[in-house]
Amino acid sequence: MMVVFTALLPTAENDDQLATVLGHEMAHALAHHASERVAREQSGANILRSLSYARMQESEADHIGLFLMTFAGYEPEQVVAFWERMHSGAGAHGRPPEFLSDHPSDEHRVRDLRAWLPKAKAAKKAFDGGRIASGR
Kindly tell me which of 59 and 127 has the beta carbon lying closer to Zn ion: 59
Residues in contact with Zn ion, counted by CB under 5 A, come to a total of 2
CB of 25 to Zn ion, least distance (A): 7
Residue 58 one-letter amino acid: E
Measured CA to CA, the distance from residue 51 to residue 66 in angstroms comes to 22
Choose one: 41-49, 61-69, 112-120, 122-130; the region binding Zn ion (CB under 5 A): 61-69
CA distances from 14 to 17, 65, 82, 107 (A): 5, 17, 9, 22
Q: Which is nearer to Zn ion, 58 or 106 (CB)?
A: 58
Q: How far apart are CA 83 and CA 12, in angstroms?
A: 10
Q: What is the DSSP string of 57-73?
A: HHHHHHHHHHHHHHHTT
61 binds Zn ion (CB under 5 A): yes
Near Zn ion by CB under 5 A, which window of 10-18, 37-45, 56-64, 89-97?
Answer: 56-64
Cβ proximity to Zn ion, 5 vs 99, nearer residue: 5
**Contact positions vs Zn ion (CB under 5 A):** 58, 61
